[in-house]
Structure 1
Amino acid sequence: MSTPAASPNLADLSIVIPVYGALEETLDCVTSLLQSDAGGCPIFLMDDGSDWHVQDTLRSRFADAPNVTLISHFRNRGYTRNIAMGVDQTNTEYVCILNSDTLLPAVWAGPLVAKLESDAYLAGVGPLSNAASFQSVPDLVDPETGKFSENDGLGFDPAERETVAALLHELGKGVCVDVPILNGFCTVFRRSALDAIGGFDTQGYPEGYGEENDLCIRLKAEGYRLCVLLDCFVHHQKSKSFGSARKETLSARGARTLAKKFGPELVPSLSKQMGASLPLNNIRALVKAALDTGTTPQVEGIAPDAGAVSLPAADGTRTCLALQGGGTYRISATGLSATPNAGDLPGITVSATPDALHVSLPESSALTLVGGAPVHSALRALSQASLLQTLYVTGWEIPAGPPAAETDEDSDAAPVAPWPEAWAMPEDTDKLSFSRLWLSN
């Protein structure tokens, strides 16, 4: 499985880490940070009045790292005031607010900064994680608690963290999804955008919880973009500085401030929008399909001249197939075949018959299927690919067939035709959408 390349230059990035207790988590965070592509960036440890043991240990542990600066407050200033003071210490164009209970893979900062550099109107970008509300993969909600899932600590183990990062590099392919709000556990901001709106509201949210939503709302109101990068992963341990009871209190207080400032309907509507994001839901489904085999996901490249390719072995060792550009692939529920015959159009060409899906990839394109080569996996991959390039549907020979379910006589909705039986499609595939689609008769 390939891994993302490190950015050649991160000189314009500073990293601010708020610290309050949680010594072991902070040590692990900074250690993983120093071993990552951002290891040479200016790092500001903003200690918000922890006891002397925390301060002394941090100072001695990172004494040999000249780019690590420890700033300790005599008394606790509160989370939002602390990070605002940290941002004030920086003089780079980009600044990352990074929680002290995060763990970093080898490459994470480079892709985030590169995305910011690509668009002057992009003010903030964040990665995916195991526990970051709407930025979580593979599960959004814990079915037992009904709360946001922490996904069993996915990525806590260093080897697993690199595996997930590499998997997302294959599945995300640089896609940046526009969102109305970002989770504050790890976000890289454009410093000039923060300055333009006056930075964090330290008065309304002195101790945190709500300050990132407030910031995002004000950035969007000024015409800036925010996005989640789908091929970047950072592990989050959650609530290591504040206990769960304290977190609930601060969260409720922040919600009241947000409602008073922007009205009671805005934040719930933004949360609803995040939960309904088709690209975010799709990447969750792709990651889940790759991880549900119970084995370490592996990616096997399939060349255009590969001929017939079987489905994964019974033990599930082959979980991802990377179809290379320059070929046409016939994909069915039992396998796929490849021939070196790319389509004439600049994007991906798609056609369908009752027994198979036919996909032609130009030389510059690629398509990664998860869980082998069934048709529903291919459609998910095509949905993801349509975020970046056009899908040219040149033939769709699927008979209408009977409706999948009886419709209400008073309903204006058209009957839904089932997928061909030979495709072996799961029910949730009906929720797929495609961004750039060109239909031809």
Structure 2
Amino acid sequence: MWPPLHLAETEDATGRNVQLLSLLRWLAVGGQLATILTVHFVIGIHLPLAPMLGALAALVALNMIVLAWPHVGAVHQFAMLLIDVACLTIQLYLSGGVSNPFVTLYLLQVVVAAVLLPAWSSWALVALTSALVAWLAWAAPPFALPIEWASRLSTPYIAGSWFNLTLAASLLVLFVTRMVRNLSQHDARLAALRQRAAEEEHIVRMGLLASGAAHELGTPLSSIAVMLGDWRHDAEISSHPALRADLEDMMAEVARCKDILSQILLASGEVRGHAPVRTSLRTFLSGIVDVWREKSGIEASYDHLPPTDPRIVADKALAQTITNLFDNAAEAGASSIALVAALDGDRLVLSVRDDGRGFAPDILDGIGKPYVSTKSRRGAGLGLFLATNVLRTLGGSLTARNRTAGGGEVMLVLPLEAVSIAEEL
């Protein structure tokens, strides 16, 4: 079974972030406690110990809650940062307001939000901390200091400090959120590359298995075909119509087995045949539809939208991919299937549309991945997985959707040059 992606990694990352915030909060509690006790008992500057220690007790209680409830969402983390900001505001209000040099600690909360939380929470903290600094400049009571330490900040200095803090917070959020977004996109690209490498490794294993099966089965089938051909010219068998009919059936079944082996090799990654046939786009695609319609007895049509009919190579893997998509549509209960070809610049767009049951949500979510469904549902087994890899080999892509009128649609997009023939001068 193909190993699924572990969605629990995101929850683990969130838990680690919450633990990191908890550690940062313990450091803040220890630093503030040491500063308060040093200023009050060592330096001799009187501080309102009860409310200041009460704010620290609130931070300790918050960390205790985090220990009991480590897995929280972004909204809860934002609420925790609001509590941190509120406790810091209480400490600053009781110890000088904007004249307290620790007022710049507001920036720490802003940076934490920019790194760990959505952008809206970062900008909300910028607005909140800016308003709180302005409020502290206006509402914080005077703080009594010894004469040799006392100073008075001018109004222009306070206004400039407020503007500087707001500007610094805004720039931090602007650039930190962009860097975090760039890192997230980089991680997503790496994850996609790892997933693609794993899928291609799976294809390689399938190709090795198919090659081994072709090697083991091809020789005895060829021997049987030769013997049947010799028996066909035997006079005794030719004189018995029943034996001759059985012989023809046996030769047909052997030919069918050899064709199945060829299709297995194509599906496992052998994209081009040994003797590619030159044809036109309309002839190639309409021929696929005609053969499938005669074999299945289900209504199937081909619509050629391009104004021209470019010359192409009859790619067997692409033909098998389209046939598999038609088979999938029939298994989904489709009574009418259409193949539509269009050109989008230098890209060839092929749409397989049907009026069947459409795709289940889990199938749409797992398009291009193996073993995402059972045989009783559309997209069963490896059909769409192999189709996706054939398109990827040709430099294209595959998407699927449910049509509003009912049924499903699979869209194949590939560079026209991947199958076209250069015009000869």
Tell me whether the two structures share a fold, i.e. TM-score over 0.5: no
Higher relative contact order, chain-length normalized (CA < 8 Å, sep 6+): 1
TM-score normalised by structure 2 residue count: 0.22
More strand by percentage:
1
More helix by percentage:
2
TM-score normalised by structure 1 residue count: 0.21
